[in-house]
Amino acid sequence: MTKGELIAACLKLMYENDDVSFYAPELDENEEDEDSYEQTTTSNISEDSDYKSKTANIIESINRALSEIAKADKFPFFVKSIDAFFIGQPYTTYNTVPTSNDNDETYIRVLNNIYKWDSDSSAYIKVALPLYFYYTLDNDIFKVLGVNYEINDEYYYQNNDVSVRYNGSRLMLLRRDKGNYIINYTPKYKRLSYSDEDSANITFADSDNTLIPDYILDIVPYFVKGDLYEEDEPQMALLATNKFYQLLEEIVNPYQRQTQTKVDTRYSSI
C-alpha cells in the first residue's frame, strides 16, 4: 500500500469524499470534455486543496497508529543469524597456526582460539576471548522477540531457546565453538513524512524496504479517525478507536503462532 492509498482510505472512513472519487476514471473514447471528470488520485491527494484541513495532520496520526501496532507485536517478525563464536571481525579457520600471513588476514581461528597477526613480531598471537560476547543490535530492530542457538550440519541438528540478557542496547550471549544464534525480532518501520511522495510504498526500515502487509495497514484508518475526531466528534472518535484496538487484537501474533510452547504426552493401557 502506498502513502496516498492509505491517506485516501483514512479520508473515506471519515466520509470526506461523498461527492468525489480519489481515482480518475478512464475516459470514454467519445468523451471530449475531460474537465468533467474528477482528477484527484492517490498519487497526488496530499496536494489537493479540498482535503488540506485533514491531510495537514494525518501523517502524524498514521505514525502513531503504526507505533501502536509495533508495540503490540503485530508486525511480522524477521530473523538474523550470527556466528556463535562471534568476535566482531571476519576470520578464517585453520587446522594449525600459519607461520606467515600470505593471505593478508588480520584474524584467524585455530580450534577454539583466535589469533591476530602482529606485524612487529611477524607472527600470529593468540587473543584472549571472554566466555561471553556482546552483540550490538542493528538500527532496524524494534524489539527482540527471542533468540535460538542452532547447530545445523550434515549429521546433527539442534535448535534451543536461549535466555536473553541485555547490556544497554547489546545482547549478551555465551560464546560457543560452533553453530549460530538466530535472533527473532520485530523490525522498525519507516516513519512517514510530508516530504514523501504519495506514490511511495509504506515499508519497514530494513535494507530491502520490505512492504508492511496490507492486512495491517487496513486497520490504520480507524485509529486515524479516532485521533482526528477526538475534539469535534468524541462519540464517533471513541467508536473508531475501539474498533481499531479490537481489530488489532484479532491480528495473530506471527511469532507466537510459529512457537510451540508445550507438548502434552499421555499414556494409556488397553
pLDDT (tens digit, 9 = 90+) per residue, 90-142? 999 999 999 999 999 999 999 999 999 999 999 999 999 999 999 999 888 99
Q: Is the domain of 82 the same as that of 153?
A: yes
Edge to edge, what strands does the sheet with 170-174 contain? 132-136, 170-174, 165-167
Q: Is the domain of 119 the same as that of 137?
A: no
Residue 150 has pLDDT above 80, yes or no: yes
Residue 267's pLDDT band (cuts 50, 70, 90):
very low
Per-residue model confidence as pLDDT tens digits over 195-207: 999 899 999 999 8
Instruction: Let me know if residue 265 belongs to a domain.
Output: no
C-alpha cell at 172: 549478551
Q: Is the domain of 169 the same as that of 252?
A: no
Share of the chain above pLDDT 90, in %: 59
Residue 262 has pLDDT above 50, yes or no: no
Q: Is the domain of 83 the same as that of 150?
A: yes
Q: What is the per-residue pLDDT for 164?
A: 84
Torsion on CA atoms 28, 29, 35, 37, rounded to nearest 10: 10
- Domain residues for the domain of 100 are 92-127
- In this prediction the pTM is 0.75
Q: The cell 543490535 sits on which residue?
A: 137
Q: Is the domain of 15 the same as that of 53?
A: yes
Residue 158 has pLDDT above 90, yes or no: no
SS (H, E, C) 179-195: CEEEEEEEECECCCCCC
Helix (H, G, I), strand (E, B) or coil at 160: strand
Q: What is the mean pLDDT of the chain?
A: 84
Share of the chain above pLDDT 70, in %: 83
Q: Is the domain of 13 the same as that of 58?
A: yes
In DSSP terms, which residues pair with 218 in a beta bridge? none
Q: What is the per-residue pLDDT for 85?
A: 94
Rounded-to-integer distance, Cα 12 and Cα 19, Å: 11
Contact 41, 174 (CB under 8 A): no
Rounded-to-integer distance, Cα 138 and Cα 188, Å: 10
Rounded-to-integer distance, Cα 202 and Cα 1, Å: 6
Residue 152 has pLDDT above 70, yes or no: yes
Q: Is the domain of 24 the same as that of 65?
A: yes
Q: What is the per-residue pLDDT for 24?
A: 40
Q: Is the domain of 161 the same as that of 107?
A: no
> Which residues fall within 8 angstroms of residue 229, CB to CB, at 6 or more apart?
14, 236, 237, 240
Q: Is the domain of 13 the same as that of 71?
A: yes
**Total domains, the chain:** 3
Q: What is the per-residue pLDDT for 260?
A: 47
In DSSP terms, which residues pair with 110 in a beta bridge? 94, 113
Residue 217 has pLDDT above 60, yes or no: yes
Q: How many CB atoms lie within 10 A of CB 55?
A: 21
C-alpha cell at 121: 613480531
Instruction: Let me know if residue 104 belongs to a domain.
Output: yes
- Average the pLDDT over 72-78 and give the result: 92
DSSP string, 54-111: HHHHHHHHHHHHHHHHHHTT-SPPEEEEEETT--SS--EEESS--SS-TT--SEEEET
Per-residue model confidence as pLDDT tens digits over 15-61: 755 555 555 434 454 544 444 334 557 677 777 777 777 788 899 99
Residue 159 has pLDDT above 90, yes or no: no
Q: Is the domain of 161 the same as that of 83?
A: yes
